[in-house]
Amino acid sequence: LGDDDGSVIEEYRTKISEAGMPDEVRGQAERELGRFERMGEQSPESSMIRTYLDWLIAVPWAKRSEEHLDPVDAREVLDADHEGLEDVKDRIVEYLAVRKLRQERGIAEDKRSGAILTLIGPPGTGKTSIGESIARSLGREFVRMSLGGIRDEAEIRGHRRTYIGALPGRLVRALRDAGTMNPVIMLDEVDKVGADWRGDPSSALLEVLDPAQNHSFRDHYLDVELDLSEVVFIATANISETIPGPLLDRMEVIRFDGYTVDEKVAIARGYLWPRQRERNGLREDEVTLDDILLETVITEYTREAGVRQLERELGTILRKTATRIASAQVEPPVVIDGTAVRDALGRQKFFQEAAERTATPGVATGLAVTGTGGDVLFIEATSMRGGNELMLTGQLGDVMKESARIALSYVRAHAGDLGIDESAFEDHSFHLHVPAGAIPKDGPSAGVTMTIALASLLSGRPVMHTVGMTGEVTLQGRVLPVGGLKQKVLAAHAAGLTDVILPERNRPDLDDVPEAVREQMTFHPVMSLREVLDVALEPDPVVLPA
């Protein structure tokens, strides 16, 4: 038995000497090995020490991937895998270019210069998949850590060794899985980290994601310093509001705002269609779909910022086609036509309804932004005799309710200027509704739309059906800037609107809107509600049939 102990200890000693550990870590490993030697194999604590030593040795202390420091080549890899996403690609190329220059000029590595990118945007826009492309373009290993729903701080930092069954945290495990100290680690769904009595994992991430601190990260289990400064961290999230402020402050945020119809067609043609065709056992020459029908699928069967639903619909079309070919109902090659699309996907799911909805005075088209991208809201106003109150429905939050009160106060105070009879307010109640009723809504950006809906109702002038609007309002009638403009404009474009009213101070944000969309739309930057009324309302009142 003693001989067995000796051979185990020698084996550990060899592994420790070959692991390339820093001096401090090696000292800790040798201390633990000394304890193990004194205790012997029969000690109840020996298995815990062996597990600890196994983990210390499993960390790839001296192993690093050899990087491809060629910005041009990296850009080609990124372009081959993803359409658009210029901001992310530029940032990765910049990171590589800086590393290349430092290496060529013999400048020592700065331990505080790690790259920590956070990709925030709607689902299905390619945030997770671009992580793998980034790793390939850098020539590094890729490890994905899903943080959605984790509630225990020990998931990040590990448990202290005093606990039975203690293990290191996910970061140490990620380094072990990667087999190198410089992988690309993706922290997926960082906005969905929970917190409870076991601690707050997002607070544990503060140290990990701070370039000034993460060169000396200390896992509770290993209890030695780990240098994470060479790791490229890429975090993904759907919304930034649920990420704690101190954590968001450490992140370099790149926003994904969804794709235009033209970009979706290009993505479907270059990536989704070939992938689904292969998945369904069909060859390239056996089935074809033209771009016009592809656009029909995008506009009539999906309404999303990303392309996940689009891929599902294309998969359905190809499965039906594969079934027909396999059961000898048709002979390849098969050309997918409109009838085949309707047979596979059923009736049209989404309609452009701005013209019908706004034909009646009291309905205005607003633009909103949600966790799944931009959206078009039809805000409805009506009045009735009796009482003197303002009713609000549609699951509105407090900020939105206050916007509605401001809108009514403004219209009432400026009734004379708007050509509204003062008697329209006397002994009348007003009701504002924002469909869809089941979806909670909040934020100040519907202020302009609510004001226009009330002005339209009381003046009898319908809102022009081509116009969408966004902006916060004040009691003085000033229009204040709002966020998410690019997503709102893309939603307006997808819904068939041609005019967008926006705050003057949001004019610079139009640079973010794709040029193809800008050319097809007219933008009306405004400073005051007076300007909005001139653009948004039809010149003549409409007499409704009794």
Nearest to 184 by CA among 88, 317, 48, 301: 88
Out of 445, 456, 459, 486, which one is annotated catalytic? 445
Helix (H) or strand (E) holding 374: strand 373-385
Give residues with Cβ within 8 angstroms of 299, minimum separation 6: 261, 350, 494
- Is residue 264 annotated as part of the catalytic site, yes or no? no
Between CA 123 and CA 311 the distance in angstroms is 13
Tokens of 469: 């609007």
Burial class (CB in 10 A: 0-12, 13-18, 19+), 422: exposed
Between CA 60 and CA 179 the distance in angstroms is 6
Residue 410's alpha-carbon distances to 180, 347, 447, in angstroms, are 63, 44, 11
Number of other residues whose CB lies within 10 A of the CB of residue 537: 22
Between CA 135 and CA 177 the distance in angstroms is 15
φ, ψ (nearest 5 deg) of residue 502: -140, 160
Nearest to 70 by CA among 88, 87, 93: 93
Tokens of 417: 């200027």
Between CA 122 and CA 239 the distance in angstroms is 8
In contact, 256 and 204? CB cutoff 8 Å: no
- Is residue 137 annotated as part of the catalytic site, yes or no? no
CA dihedral sign, ordered 269, 272, 277, 283: positive
Nearest to 276 by CA among 326, 310, 315, 325: 315
φ, ψ (nearest 5 deg) of residue 423: -65, -15
Active-site residue set: 445, 488
